[in-house]
Amino acid sequence: MIEVANVRLSLDDALAKGEARLARAVAKKLGIAKGMVVKAKLVRKSVDARRKSDVHVVVTAAVELANPADEEALLAQNLPGVKRHVPYAPLAIPTLRLAPDALRPIVVGTGPAGLFCALYLARAGLRPIVAERGADVDERTRIVAAFDAGADLDVATNIQFGEGGAGTFSDGKLTCGVKSPFAPHVLRWFVDAGAPREILVDAKPHIGTDLLRGVVRRLREQIVAAGGEVRFNTTVCDVRFLDGRVCAVAFRGPDGAVSWVDADRVVLACGHSARDTFELLRDRGLRLEPKPFSVGVRIEHAQQAVNEAQYGRAAKHPALGAADYKLAVQVPERAGGRQRGVYTFCMCPGGEVVAATSESGQVVVNGMSRHARDGKNANSALLVGVGPEDFGSDDVLAGVAFQRRIERAAFETARAAGGKAYAAPAQRVGDFLAADADGAHAAASAACSASAASGASAGPSDVPVPTYPRGVAWCDLHDCLPPFVTDALADALPLLERRLRGFADPNAVMTGVETRSSSPVRIVREADLQARVGAFDRSSGLFPCGEGAGYAGGIMSAACDGLRVAEALCASIDAAC
Ligand code: FAD
């Protein structure tokens, strides 16, 4: 079979079932008779909306011609976009036979990094023990729904913590920022666990929170079926080393009792919000480094407005789902010549803003959508890059303290503006820019609450109503974000408007604060993917993994890192044998 890229399909053809239209488009692209194409299978699919008057679909197809010699002849011509089709080959997992008394590897966390790592280890025969501080996905869904409805925050089970990790209540976007050889396997394993098959071909695959919850449950069932064990409501609260090698970890179980388990290999896939775990690791002598991340707000627009801005008159075509966007600009810092990157991140078409704090008395926002992406609003993080020089201290966890200050300020600002506990501070773009221009932020608060309140109730259909579940308090975001962040946001908005019409619409809603875009620390690991402890220059048996360790920035990259670490862990056992 050969693979043919850049095959153009009209929107109507893209909707059609069966292979006939694809085969015809491939034949046209290759300049051959339609009858020569026996089979045409979709390999990749994306929407080309660069020209609004010509929105169409571009696909790559795996093609079988009636005569194999014709395939060879085409390959020999070195045509652009034509190559030999290489079918998917499953990931090769070693089979390791451990002595009956050998220690089982411990995996900390059931985010994508922990789940994929544990599944690999289980399939390799290592019977991993997985510890997850939060509840299983069904219990977690109930706890998150109760919090959204006004219950107290459960600090162990919430949007950040619990089975599936931080991305369970997400859009489930599976775009991978980095090229990883593990990416095709992650997508296959997701499909094997019940994700829609279309993620194998979509250029921008996504699962949606409604389907992702079942997928996460099935990944866990596969781990257990392969010999692993998953303990929920179990926090790894201490770790012991002997001469620089891990020898035991402490589990705090559902009843609060602490028990020690002997261990010689531990995968730390604790995510970016495990602040107590970061402190523990620092105190036990692991090398942590502060790293840059980003802070800002969630911005909400009417999804219909985004569809029209991206797809023009084609916006209502059923072949096109809810449109997304990805924007970035650089702005000069007002005080000083430094440039700040301002960008949109984790855009959720047809989604909702979620209440994503994991600590009491703080407000954090993020976004999610269902598979159908059928909500009225589009939301996205709008973030400003920050670095250790902004954190106000040289402490290795200064980034965490910086996040906490902003998250507490958000909670208090919303309360001061009349919001209930865990209401989020929000402001319409028009009010935010007006407040920024006159510098009279405090006075602006009252004005914007008045104008925004009218929009929130029953305005025209393109005036987005905020979706944050605990309610928003209209106030001035300058009161809870550092000035350099609000400066950068205000300077970036008009530039972003030039990239996407309507982005800086005065009615767009900015809800604060988004502070958990990525990890504020890196847990340093060496070439063997293991950390070093204190002054010991030997493999510690501790494998920092995924986003919390600073080696991933999303579901895909975290899952890929999980597989990479699992491979390294198996290699370390092989080497020891
Ligand atoms: P996590 O997913 O954070 O998992 C870590 C797990 O470890 C948690 O379940 C936690 O409870 C557990 N844990 C922590 N400490 C301990 C301990 N001491 N003992 C036991 N267990 C512990 N990314 C995308 O690519 N696409 C998206 O659409 C997307 N949307 C998102 C929406 C939301 C609301 C959020 C919060 C994040 C979103 N992300 C998205 C980011 C993505 O979820 C993360 O990048 C990814 O989950 C990181 O995976 P991880 O396994 O490294 O860590």
| pLDDT tens, position by position, 454-488 | 334 334 557 899 999 999 999 999 999 999 999 99
CA 160–ligand 1 middle distance (angstroms): 6
Which of 170, 187, 353 most suits a substitution to test ligand 1, by most atoms within 8 Å of the C-beta? 170
Q: Give yes or no: residues 72 and 145 share one domain.
A: no
Domain assignment of residue 23, yes or no? yes
**Closest to 371 measured CA to CA, from 526, 498, 194, 234:** 194
Q: Best substitution site from 161, 233, 278, 519 to test ligand 1's pocket, by max atoms within 8 Å of Cβ?
A: 161
Distance 417 CA to ligand 1 centre (A): 31
Residue 420 sits in the same domain as residue 346: yes
In the reported structure, the alpha carbon of residue 166 is separated from the centroid of ligand 1 by a whole-number distance in angstroms of 3
- Give pLDDT tens digits for 47-76: 999 999 999 999 999 999 999 999 999 999
Mean pLDDT for the chain overall: 94
Residue 269 CA to ligand 1 center (angstroms) comes to: 9
End position of a domain, from candidates 494, 514, 534: 514
Shared-domain flag, residues 277 and 417 = no
Q: Exposed/middle/buried for 76, CB within 10 Å: 0-12, 13-18, 19+?
A: exposed
Q: Which atom of ligand 1 is nearest to the CA of 169?
A: 34
User: 293, 399 in Cβ contact below 8 A?
Assistant: yes
pLDDT at 269 over 70: yes
Does 323 share its domain with 254? Answer: no
Same domain flag for 334 and 442: yes
> Which of 497, 514, 531 represents a domain boundary (last residue)?
514
- Confirm or reject: Cβ of 324 under 6 Å from ligand 1: no
Ligand 1 atom closest to Cα of residue 160 = 36
- The angle that helices 112-123 and 555-576 make with each other, rounded to 10 degrees, is 40
Q: Is residue 101 part of a domain?
A: no
How far away, in angstroms, is 213 Cα from ligand 1 center? 13
Do the domain assignments include residue 91? Answer: no
Are the beta carbons of 426 and 480 closer than 8 angstroms? no
Please check whether residue 97 lies inside any domain of the structure.
Answer: no
Judge if 425 and 488 occupy the same domain.
yes
Q: Is the CB of 380 under 6 A from ligand 1?
A: no
Whether 95 is in a domain gets the answer no
Ligand 1 pocket: which of 129, 132, 154 to mutate (most atoms within 8 A of CB):
132
Tell me the CA–centroid distance for residue 157 and ligand 1, in Å.
12
* Residue 189, domain extent: 106-290+523-576
Residue 294, pLDDT score: 97
In a domain, 369, yes or no: yes
**538 shares a domain with 494:** no
| The last residue of a domain, from among 30, 51, 84 | 84
236: pLDDT strictly greater than 50: yes
Which pLDDT tens digit goes with each residue over 171-203? 999 987 778 999 999 999 999 999 999 999 999
Query: Using a 6 Å cutoff on CB, does residue 519 contact ligand 1?
Result: no
What whole-number distance in Å separates Cα of residue 559 and Cα of residue 563?
6
Q: Which amino acid is at 278?
A: F
Kindly report the CATH number assigned to the domain that includes residue 76: 3.30.70.2700
Tens digits of residue pLDDT in 398-421? 999 999 999 999 999 999 999 999
Same domain, yes or no, for 280 and 297?
no
Per-residue confidence (pLDDT) for residue 453, from 0 to 100 = 41
Q: Does residue 100 lie within any of the structural domains?
A: no
Q: How far apart are CA 166 and CA 169, in angstroms?
A: 7
CATH number for the domain including 181? 3.50.50.60
Average pLDDT over residues 512-521: 96
505 and 537 share a domain?
no
Q: Does any ligand 1 atom lie closer than 6 A to the CB of residue 546? A: yes
Are 41 and 138 in the same domain?
no
Q: How many domains does the chain have?
A: 3
Q: How many other C-beta atoms lie within 10 A of the C-beta of residue 56? A: 17
Least-confidence region, from 13-27, 44-58, 127-141, 272-286: 13-27
Please check whether residue 89 lies inside any domain of the structure. Answer: no
Report pLDDT for 18: 78
Q: Which of 133, 357, 556 to mutate to test the pocket of ligand 1 (most atoms within 8 A of CB)?
A: 133
Residue 459 has a pLDDT of 44
CB 208 less than 6 A from any atom of ligand 1: no
Three-state secondary structure string covering 513-561: EECCCCCCEEECCCCCCCCCECCCCCCCCEEECCCCCCCCCCHHHHHHH
ipTM of the modeled complex:
0.99
Say if residue 130 is in the same domain as residue 200.
yes
For residues 307 and 325, membership in a common domain is answered with yes
252 Cβ below 6 A of ligand 1 = no
